[in-house]
Structure 1
Amino acid sequence: MEWYRLTKEELFSNLESDEDGLDAISRQERLAKEGPNELSQGEEISEIRKFLSHFNDLLVYALIVSAALKGFIGDFIDMAIILFVVLVNALIGYIQEAKATDSLNSLSNMMSANAVIWTGNEKVTVDATSLVKGDIVFLKPGDIIPADLRLLDAYNLVVEEAILTGESTPVNKSTDIIESEADLGDRLNMVFSGTLVNAGSAKAVVVETGDRTEIGKISEHLKSVEDSETPLITKMKLMNKQIFAVVAGLIVFLVIFSFFYRDMTGDELLSAMIALAVSAIPEGLPAVLSIILSVGVTRMARQNAIIKKMPAVETLGSMEVICSDKTGTLTKNEMSVVAVITADDLFDTTDPNEHDNQINQTSSNQTLTKMVETALYCNDTKITYKGGVREIIGNPTEGALLDWANQMVLIENVKEISKLPFDSAYKYMATLVDVEDKRYIYLKGAPDVLLDLVEKEVSHNQVKVFDESPWNEKIATNAKLGQRLLAAAYKEVSNTKETLTHEDISSDMILVGLFGIIDPPKKEAIEAVRVSRQAGISVKMITGDHKDTATAIAKDIGIENYADALVGKDIEALSDEELEKVVMSTDVYARTTPEHKLRLVEAIQRNGLIVGMTGDGVNDAPALKQADIGIAMGIKGTEVTKDAADMVLSDDNFATITSAVKEGRRVYENLKKTIYFSLPTAFAQGLLVVVSMLADRPLPLSSVQILWLNMVTTITLSFALGFEPLDEKGMTRPPRDPKENILSSYAIFRTVYVSLLLAGLGFLVNSFLGSKGASIPIMQTTLITTLVFGQVFYMINCREIIRFSITKTILSNKVLWYSLAILAILQLLVTYAPFMHVALGTTVITGQHIGISVLAGLAVFIIVEIEKTITRTFFKPKN
């Protein structure tokens, strides 16, 4: 129902009410029928379900089955070790992932607790949840509006609606009927649940309650938006399926092979298959990935980007489009005077080079002096600083005038005599003031109103007859720049005049000039947009503010494709298919509702792009939840927005996003390096099992020894790769293709040949020792040491996937050296500590055995670096 378009008679007819409100019985009947005025809650995920979700993985299932089979054949120690590995992985993932709170609960917290209504011929304070359609509600300054209301009477009512509409300034409300269709922010005879009464008072009738209010619609959108799967999770699931398919295929092949060609008992075959599963599956990889993501989370927190869900770190690195709210995100959310326009001059107040010149002119330029006096003396607002934080008590627009005027250093003896407060019916404010023993009327207000009141103007320090035409041109020019314009006028009156009436300003008023006011862009946002574009990331502005304002800000901060900006009505006129095409060529959207923002994000996603959405108001929450990465403002953002987001900017700085993107790209590159490192080392151990069975030889390593290599050695070395810096060209390359498989053709090639290389060197060392008559413990300990050194040198290879790996940054990665030191200690324990001999079945080996292991590892490093040189010279892969 378009309540804002109805006459008062039609309104009460539809509501079956009148200006006397509803009696108690009618209210109870409607409450039973309509339900309470509150938002329905969404389902909350229990902590147990969050923990159990970390077991939902194919490779984890394979390990659990392996553990169960170990228990079945009576090998309970190995079973316990495998289950312990699975549990550790789940605990790391659960502990590291930040908790996601329920945004619907925060929406409910924004609802008003009480309301003053008219019932039974008296004012009564009731619980806001008991409001029903047709109730008559009274509003005063400071009230949170308890439901969606249609205004019946309003006196200077000003409502702060930024959380709902994105409007950068409080809205002056009226009771006038709006005959044509209007966007949410233009429904001036309506006020909405959850918004704040800034000033004035009103009498209104309830037209919508609970989930049917505008804030309720946002709640419904939040519930309808399902949590999306991040690109990293999608790719990891695909990679796990590929690993599972390879391992399962090998197991099936070996079972069939053994049945026909080997005389093995059931227990022997089962043990061999479990050993293959345990060796080929990179058990340590999930833990390593969680740790690397956690490191990224910690780094981002130091840069004021708080990550709530760990996979969102990597999503940032693949982001291709940032959809940003304007107010408070790209702009300061503080109104500022950016231009002072007189008949003779245009003062750019944002130019620091002109600032001192303007101050010096204040005493000599009568026009500028009168502009300063109007800003100072025709003003009801105060500015205070509490704890170093600027706070405006009153209207933000008047606060902007005060900020500018106070910089002009005008010192005068002043006394206020009388005042006409601002009234939306008149659209102006006037004061009667004594200034240096002279009495003046100062007037400020909407230019269209003041231009009809003035008869003269100031030009070249002289009062002349008013010429309207040039002023209309100035107004049109600055309005196109997105500025909100206020006109200033004055006249001198007799010192005996004591009161001020509307008739006093109907004649002889002298126009001084215009103030151009805007919520200016943040300087750091301009740089951040430039960096984003350089990194191949498109920035789109989606705001509830006016089209001219949005276009002007977009132009100032460097957003592309702003000329063909669309407004909410344009979006509604487009089908989903049409919008899907439009979003690729249009970057500015104004006068949008939460539904519009949600549709825009969905349209971009249907083009196959990874989308980030920023915002601070309740109106941004559904789009934030739908986006691949939702980004909320931590200071000025509502709790609803923070809860719906994946990342919170604790400094409300758009530039922090680009820093987070850089960290996200770094995390992804390091994850990829870790996978390049982990898979060959795991598969090499699997090949030891496969080849041994094919060759009818005893398994070279036990399941416990394989787990030691997979968990302890791999995690220790992989951890070092998580601290590698992003290369110098990391933020000048376009985002990677979100459909790109993490296992590219080159990654598969590298995994295969390095696996064969490590396994081949292992068999070579084993054969050499066997020919010398070495015992099984010595052969196993030397093989473990060989694989460890092979992994150490291959880890260094993986510092750079294609380029030569030993660069100057190797010295800056201190964690790499710590990891090598820790691994050295662990390997010494494996080799020389008796308790480790008991646990792993190892023994003491000589320096000659260690030397052989080192040579094998060095061979791995040299061969891989030769291959990388050939690959980057002749094949030039994307990696």
Structure 2
Amino acid sequence: MKREVPEERRALLRAEDPTGIGQAQAAQLAARFGTNRIAEHRARSVGEIAGDTARDPMLWFLAATSLIFALLGEWTDTVVLLLAIVPLVGMDFYLHRRTEASVQGLSSALATHARVMRDGQERQVPANELVPGDLVRVRTGEPFPADGVILAGGKLQADESSLSGEAYPVPKTPLPAGAQGDPEEQHWAFAGTRLLTGEAQVRLIFTGGDTLYGEIVRAATATRNERTPLQGDVARLVRALIVIALAICLLLAAVRLYQGHGLIDAFLSAAVLAVAAIPEEFPVVLTFFLGVGVYRLAQHKALVRRAVVVENIGRLSVICSDKTGTITEGVLRLHELRPASGITQERLLEMAAMASRPGSHDPLDEALLAEAPPAPAGSRLLASYPFTEARRREVAIWEETGQTIAVAKGAPETILQLCSLGAEERERRDGKLAAMSASGQKVIACARRNVATTAEPEGGFSFTGFIGIADPLREGVRQAVEDARQAGIQTVMVTGDHPQTAQAIAREAGLAADPVVLSGDEMEARLGQGDRAFLDSLDVVARATPAQKVLLVEAMRESGRISAVTGDGVNDVPALKTADIGIAMGRRGTQSAREVAAIVLMDDNFGTIVRAIAEGRQLFRNLTRSFAFLLMVHIPLVTTAALIPLLGYPLLYLPIHIVILELLIHPAAILGFQQLPDGLKGRRKIGKGFFDKAETAVIIGTGILVTIAVAALFIVVVGSGEPPEHARTMALICLIAALATLLAVLTGLRGRTSRTIAAAALVFSFAATLAPVPAGWLDLHPLNLPDWLTAAGTGIAASLPGLLFHAKPAGHRKSARKAG
């Protein structure tokens, strides 16, 4: 990681005062740049959390009904209802605190105090009081308090895994005195990272929210409360259901009064139905699932900046990916040497290194120098003529074993023009060049000649060979591309490379056996003609400009696709903003790219995108299962709560029974459906609708069957002469058994939580109805074993059609072409 120093901070970089800044200057710098509050986050008070919890209608229902029972002298019911408030409030506090903890956890890697030089003295101060320009001392094992440049220290290594995701130590060296330009990566220290070895003296350049870690914290918290389209849909659904529920409640109350059951009965009938019918679980479940999605994606090194991404990422149909650093490692390495006749591979590499510049930080020069042998003994560099875009070559004049030679390296077409080659030899060289280029390598040519002066010769060189440099494919990319294809996701590589080079890399990455490649100009021309059909088979856009990248994204959207675009530079900002999901590179990406992106990849890896899609699809699958469970349970609960009293029978559910059901439904819907993904393979693409027609039919059909089972059981038992309490208990056991069965069939009992809740529901229903004392506390009638088995068996049998919710194939294997 490397940072650019803005002009207004360059004076801090050039400061050489070893005694640090003074208090007065620190105050001025704090006013100008701010202090070092990196993970500033106001923790919510108990009162604020309680205020949110108080919005739950269930709590007001419990309080109101317990008051009524107290007025009627039913003290047991009063105490039980009041005690039922405790777990409901506890769950809300747990969920709120868990959300707060996820944000507060970002500060765990930060320094709390630092040793700083102020007014010529070293003192320890709180880390959040540091300012740009401060000179701090960091010892082994301590975190760096902010982003700065290392000025002194030896044998330094840092742990930067919190920012980069890489576990190995990163060597650090002090910035040389008088160095010009921006410090290189090895000179930087970053907040949130830790010094592993040595002791470092660091000049702080960026503090607070301007640090890389501060940007991450701000990205994680800036849009936490943003509502997604699905949240809006659920909110509208909830409002509509509430209106309908209230209307039915008023109707039920009026009917019960008309039937002569009295005011208390009418109120309880309406209140019970209202609480059963109000779908407060839906927004709670959705909010919790989105929060879980953000958390899990962060664990996969994908930092979500907008909650809408958690919905959209599972719906992705195309990924427009950069090549360098995402599909490839982004590091040039020596790949192939093809020396001319009479030249050894070692000599070819040696001459290429002689035409390179040590310390230039040119990736090509670094790749050559890393592999080249040292210059011959006694050789001496006399002059050099550096590479420019206009010259397309680099030439160095060396004195070597009593003679003066010129060595040149550069673009093959440029170097070959400097050489004296016959037509046949030129054709042979061109063939080798084409073969190397077709394999995805960056090819340079080398040549030499004897000279008498240090002036740059304009010709007469002897060709010495071709050198192939490659940016290796990232580990796991080929498998990730294949997983994406199997899941119905198209991958398009967008690069500035030559089409032939891009095609070779696309083939190696597994985009296709014979990748379809268009240049940016060709793509733009076809889109300008209204052609969109070619997008289905497109694999690579080569020689692409930023504007053409935007055109591609817009065309994908117009053709009905949901697209993700990766980018790292300022020139990628338009495409990142245009895409349904903009994905910025966290390690090498610019701040502007990270600011507009919806996701920041902390490891710049294409495989991370695919893992995030798998997480998104599993999250949506979990959410649909949870909502299906809620609907299948609420349909019989609400219907029977209204139908039985309307038919003139006694109340089917008393308030305490609604509490029991809600205490089972809430944790089951929220915690029972948190299955982890096992990869993208086999995960079906998410459509625009929440449920399709088949799933809707299963939900409604299962809900109706459970409704019939509960209502019929109650009516039959009452008709057989048993007291209403006995029939009510059997109906409740039937519904609880159906609840446990639906949880089992919709989750497959893959998670420990789902198994625990399903088992707890059945065990509770068994224990609470077979023993007289707990049955009396809960307004239930003790049952004998045959009656319990009849009730539970009826509920289980009625809910088994929920298995049909799994009937749809798990994945679509549709792929027009196979990779080679």
Q: TM-score under structure 1 normalisation?
A: 0.60
Structure 1 portions without partners, runs of 5+: 1-44, 101-194, 199-221, 345-364, 383-392, 458-463, 801-809
Q: Do 1:709 and 1:788's aligned partners in 2 also have CA atoms closer than 8 Å?
A: yes
Could you tell me how far apart the structure 2 residues matched to 1:46 and 1:419 are? 61
Work out whether 1:623 is the aligned partner of 2:558: no
- In the TM superposition, what is the alpha-carbon distance from 1:764 to its structure 2 partner? 5.0
Work out whether 1:597 is the aligned partner of 2:549: yes
Match of 2:19 in 1: none
Residues 466-507 of structure 1 deviation map (CA, whole Å, 9 limit, x = unaligned): 9544445555665566654422112356xxx7xx6234x345
- In the TM superposition, what is the alpha-carbon distance from 1:604 to its structure 2 partner? 1.7
Match of 1:815 in 2: 753
Residues 611-641 of structure 1 deviation map (CA, whole Å, 9 limit, x = unaligned): 2222333333443344333333333233443
Relative to structure 1, the CA distance from residue 516 to residue 244 in structure 2 (aligned partners, 3 Å threshold; closer, same or farther) is farther
Work out whether 1:650 is the aligned partner of 2:617: no
Match of 2:318 in 1: 321
Work out whether 1:419 is the aligned partner of 2:383: yes
- In the TM superposition, what is the alpha-carbon distance from 1:396 to its structure 2 partner? 0.7
Mean alpha-carbon deviation: is it higher for 764-773 or for 698-707? Answer: 764-773
SS of equivalent to 1:652: coil
Match of 1:749 in 2: 697
Within a 5 Å distance, the mapping from 1:27-176 to structure 2 comes to 92=95, 96=99
Q: Give the letter aligned to residue 448 of structure 2.
A: Y
SS of equivalent to 1:721: coil
Match of 2:353 in 1: 376
Match of 1:389 in 2: none
Relative to structure 1, the CA distance from residue 82 to residue 608 in structure 2 (aligned partners, 3 Å threshold; closer, same or farther) is farther
- In the TM superposition, what is the alpha-carbon distance from 1:508 to its structure 2 partner? 4.3
Match of 1:489 in 2: 447
SS of equivalent to 2:572: helix
Match of 1:556 in 2: 508
Q: Give the letter aligned to residue 856 of structure 1.
A: A
Could you tell me how far apart the structure 2 residues matched to 1:585 and 1:658 are? 20
Could you tell me how far apart the structure 1 residues matched to 2:550 and 2:801 are? 51
Within a 5 Å distance, the mapping from 1:760-771 to structure 2 comes to 760-764=708-712, 766=714
Q: Do 1:786 and 1:852's aligned partners in 2 also have CA atoms closer than 8 Å?
A: no
Match of 1:167 in 2: none
Work out whether 1:735 is the aligned partner of 2:700: no
Match of 2:735 in 1: 787
Q: Give the letter aligned to residue 398 of structure 1.
A: D
SS of equivalent to 2:476: helix
SS of equivalent to 1:578: coil
Residues 371-400 of structure 1 deviation map (CA, whole Å, 9 limit, x = unaligned): 211232222135xxxxxxxxxx61011122
Asked which structure has the greater RCO (Cα within 8 Å, sep 6+), the reply is 1
Work out whether 1:428 is the aligned partner of 2:380: no
SS of equivalent to 1:420: strand
Match of 1:859 in 2: 794
- In the TM superposition, what is the alpha-carbon distance from 1:596 to its structure 2 partner? 3.9
Relative to structure 1, the CA distance from residue 750 to residue 79 in structure 2 (aligned partners, 3 Å threshold; closer, same or farther) is farther
Q: Do 1:279 and 1:683's aligned partners in 2 also have CA atoms closer than 8 Å?
A: no
Could you tell me how far apart the structure 2 residues matched to 1:692 and 1:650 are? 57
Residues 34-78 of structure 1 deviation map (CA, whole Å, 9 limit, x = unaligned): xxxxxxxxxxx9999xx99xx99xxx9998998999999999999
Q: Do 1:324 and 1:613's aligned partners in 2 also have CA atoms closer than 8 Å?
A: yes
Could you tell me how far apart the structure 1 residues matched to 2:406 and 2:809 are? 77
State which of 478, 496, 515 in structure 2 corresponds to 1:526: 478
Work out whether 1:451 is the aligned partner of 2:416: yes
Match of 2:407 in 1: 442
Residues 495-551 of structure 1 deviation map (CA, whole Å, 9 limit, x = unaligned): xx7xx6234x34542111223334343242222212211221111223355555444
Relative to structure 1, the CA distance from residue 65 to residue 630 in structure 2 (aligned partners, 3 Å threshold; closer, same or farther) is farther
Work out whether 1:510 is the aligned partner of 2:462: yes
Residues 789-833 of structure 1 deviation map (CA, whole Å, 9 limit, x = unaligned): 221122222235xxxxxxxxx5x6433333345556766897799
SS of equivalent to 1:691: helix
Match of 1:203 in 2: none
Could you tell me how far apart the structure 2 residues matched to 1:320 and 1:240 are? 30
Within a 5 Å distance, the mapping from 1:649-688 to structure 2 comes to 649-688=601-640
- In the TM superposition, what is the alpha-carbon distance from 1:676 to its structure 2 partner? 2.4
SS of equivalent to 1:366: coil
Relative to structure 1, the CA distance from residue 255 to residue 815 in structure 2 (aligned partners, 3 Å threshold; closer, same or farther) is closer
Q: Do 2:565 and 2:583's aligned partners in 1 also have CA atoms closer than 8 Å?
A: yes
Could you tell me how far apart the structure 2 residues matched to 1:842 and 1:656 are? 54
Match of 1:280 in 2: 277
State which of 520, 523, 529 in structure 2 corresponds to 1:567: 520
Q: Give the letter aligned to residue 792 of structure 2.
A: G
Could you tell me how far apart the structure 2 residues matched to 1:870 and 1:421 are? 71
Q: Do 2:66 and 2:82's aligned partners in 1 also have CA atoms closer than 8 Å?
A: yes
Relative to structure 1, the CA distance from residue 80 to residue 602 in structure 2 (aligned partners, 3 Å threshold; closer, same or farther) is farther
Within a 5 Å distance, the mapping from 1:195-234 to structure 2 comes to 232-233=230-231
Q: Do 2:393 and 2:408's aligned partners in 1 also have CA atoms closer than 8 Å?
A: yes
Work out whether 1:699 is the aligned partner of 2:651: yes
Match of 2:328 in 1: 331
SS of equivalent to 2:560: coil
Could you tell me how far apart the structure 2 residues matched to 1:669 and 1:536 are? 16
- In the TM superposition, what is the alpha-carbon distance from 1:573 to its structure 2 partner? 8.4
- Cα RMSD for the two superposed structures: 5.5
Relative to structure 1, the CA distance from residue 651 to residue 248 in structure 2 (aligned partners, 3 Å threshold; closer, same or farther) is same
Could you tell me how far apart the structure 2 residues matched to 1:569 and 1:74 are? 78
Relative to structure 1, the CA distance from residue 426 to residue 324 in structure 2 (aligned partners, 3 Å threshold; closer, same or farther) is closer
State which of 369, 377, 380 in structure 2 corresponds to 1:402: 369
SS of equivalent to 1:735: coil
Q: Give the letter aligned to residue 366 of structure 1.
A: I
**Number of paired residues?**
654
Q: Give the letter aligned to residue 624 of structure 1.
A: L
Q: Give the letter aligned to residue 660 of structure 1.
A: A
Match of 1:113 in 2: none
Could you tell me how far apart the structure 2 residues matched to 1:524 and 1:506 are? 46
Relative to structure 1, the CA distance from residue 831 to residue 72 in structure 2 (aligned partners, 3 Å threshold; closer, same or farther) is closer
Could you tell me how far apart the structure 2 residues matched to 1:82 and 1:595 are? 58
Could you tell me how far apart the structure 2 residues matched to 1:746 and 1:66 are? 36
- In the TM superposition, what is the alpha-carbon distance from 1:725 to its structure 2 partner? 6.2
Residues 276-309 of structure 1 deviation map (CA, whole Å, 9 limit, x = unaligned): 2321344334444444555555554444444455
SS of equivalent to 1:431: strand
Could you tell me how far apart the structure 1 residues matched to 2:487 and 2:703 are? 35
Q: Do 2:346 and 2:372's aligned partners in 1 also have CA atoms closer than 8 Å?
A: no
Residues 734-776 of structure 1 deviation map (CA, whole Å, 9 limit, x = unaligned): 52433x342x333333333433443444345545765788777
State which of 555, 564, 574 in structure 2 corresponds to 1:612: 564
Q: TM-score under structure 2 normalisation?
A: 0.64
Mean alpha-carbon deviation: is it higher for 543-552 or for 317-326? Answer: 543-552
Could you tell me how far apart the structure 2 residues matched to 1:667 and 1:295 are? 8
Structure 2 portions without partners, runs of 5+: 1-40, 71-77, 105-180, 185-218, 813-820
Q: Do 1:688 and 1:699's aligned partners in 2 also have CA atoms closer than 8 Å?
A: no
Q: Give the letter aligned to residue 614 of structure 1.
A: T
Match of 2:148 in 1: none
State which of 705, 709, 725 in structure 1 corresponds to 2:661: 709
